[in-house]
A and B are shown apart, each in its own frame.
Chain A
Amino acid sequence: MKTVSIPTRQTPRDDEQVASPIESDSLVEEVSIDGMCGVY
């Protein structure tokens, strides 16, 4: 029988690069949450 391992780790290691939630070359990105009522 073949055994398949399924990766379960979901949190990044300390030395792992974590992607930003937004894409840009700048160091700062800004968003307004006005109009997002109803999003909880």
Chain B
Amino acid sequence: MTDFDADRAWRLHPQVAVRPEPFGALLYHFGTRKLSFLKDRTLLDVVRSLGEHSSARAAIAAAGIPAASAEPYVGAVRTLAASHMIVERDA
């Protein structure tokens, strides 16, 4: 299990492919052979921009999510970290 900290920097795993879909996006991990369905286009923006921000929380804020509404997105990013779709990086 990956320890997730939304205040740390994350990025997509290099073995993960992203395919935008009308409902959000599909992520496929070539290493674990897992698929993740992102059911929100804003979450797709968050995931794609993780590597450009100093923390997951900053990426969520940059996608236009106010702090008061961020918790579902933090939870979604936590889920992606637990399945290694995203990995921690140096800020």
Contact = CB atoms under 8 A, between A and B. Distances in A.
19 contacts: A20-B23, A20-B39, A24-B39, A26-B72, A26-B76, A27-B38, A27-B72, A28-B36, A28-B38, A28-B39, A28-B79, A29-B36, A29-B39, A30-B34, A30-B36, A30-B83, A32-B34, A32-B35, A33-B35
Interface size class of A (residues with CB under 8 A): 10 to 19
Interface of B: 22-24, 32-40, 43, 72-73, 75-76, 79-80, 83
Interface of A: 12, 18-22, 24, 26-34
* Residue in B36, B37, B79 whose Cβ sees the most chain A Cβ within 10 Å: B37
Q: Is the interface of A mostly helix, strand, loop or mixed?
A: loop
